[in-house]
Amino acid sequence: MTTAAPGTTPFAVAGVPFVHSADAGLSLPRWITPSWTGSRVTDDPILVHHAVGETAPTDLFPLLDDAPPYGEYYVDSDQQLAIRSRGMGLSGDLPQLLRTRRGGFEYVVHYSREDDTLRLQWGWHRTIFMFALPARRRGVVAHAAGFVLPGGGGVLCPGVSGDGKSTLARTMLAEPGHRATVLSDDRVAVTNEHDGPRLWGTPWHSSAETASPLDAPFEAIVFMGRGRGAELARLPKRIALRRLLRTVAIPFWDSDATAFALATVDRIISDVPAFEFNYDPTPTAAEALVDGLIAALQAV
């Protein structure tokens, strides 16, 4: 028997609502980020069902072993993704298994026991969304910070762990004029729209703990560097492409979705100017970045 998960309500990320259901009697947390209010809704929902049952992938074909953050990636006979967690190193955690029912739209999470359902919700939501977006041919998710300029243009700041995404977000938040709105300091969604690519904040923040449900037209890419003062320089497209690809979630097991994700990245690099910003992380640097981008985009 299936019932609506107690305490859960639909919420949207980048226009896509999450709708949860669960086996009868199974309790789930409302949402790992209570402050998230949800984006405006523009698309069909992602349906996630939660069940206690078999977590051993006996009918699956291995893709990757010991892949972060969960451990094991598989596909089933229909080439649908499955991911098995190894407990994330937390005492008492048992394996959990995410399976795809319909790529981009329907997923199920299997738990070993009822009291394990309260763990890893943050991770499962993020993973489902990262791979659902290209599967439904809507967009991609970048490991990035992002913010919105005073004029309404969105800026993506991609980077792998340690590149300074949260540092940049904190710098922007400390800028005296508060002219820019930070979308996220860890994950930003990019969607394909009829009038061009668009940036969306997501609830999956990092140490700056900032996440906004707002969205904005995608107007610039900024890669972060370390240096004295604050210097913004235009970046060649070939270099920007290589650096951006390091940060985008690519569904490598699905050739059609991979082709879509790569075409999306190519469109971004073709249409959106890229820069490198070398700076000391001070509020003055944030002000220089905002002013520099405004001037550079007017000159493009």
Q: Which domains does the chain have, with CATH numbers?
A: 2-135 (no CATH), 139-299 (3.90.228.20)
Model pLDDT, residue 128? 94
Dump the DSSP string for the chain: -EEEPTT---EEETTEEEEEEEETT----S-S-TT---PPP-SPPEEEEEEES--S-TT-EEEEEEETTTEEEEE-TT--EEEEE--TT-TT---EEEEEEETTTEEEEEESSGGGTTSSHHHHHHHHHHHHHHHTTSEEEEEEEEEE-TTS-EEEEE--TTSSHHHHHHHHHH-TT--SEEEESSEEEEEEETTEEEEEE-S---TT--B---EEEEEEEEEEEE-SSEEEEE--HHHHHHHHHTTB---TT-HHHHHHHHHHHHHHHHHS-EEEEEE-SSHHHHHHHHHHHHHHHHH-
Asked if the bond preceding 69 is cis, omega within 30° of 0, the reply is yes
Per-residue pLDDT of 11-69, as tens digits, reads: 899 999 998 888 887 877 665 566 788 899 999 999 999 998 888 878 899 988 766 65
Model pLDDT, residue 119? 64
State pTM to two decimals: 0.91
Q: What number is the average pLDDT over the span 192-221?
A: 94
Confidence of residue 3 (pLDDT cuts 50, 70, 90): very low
- How far apart are the C-alpha atoms of 96 and 110, rounded to whole Å? 6
Q: Which of 51-65, 80-94, 269-283 has the highest mean pLDDT?
A: 269-283
Residue 228 or residue 263, greater confidence: 263
Model pLDDT, residue 90? 45
Residues 107, 111, 117, 121: is their CA dihedral positive or negative?
A: negative
Per-residue pLDDT of 99-147, as tens digits, reads: 999 999 999 999 888 777 666 677 888 999 999 999 999 999 999 999 9
Amino acid identity of 247? Answer: T
Residue 67 or residue 227, greater confidence: 227
Model pLDDT, residue 37? 85
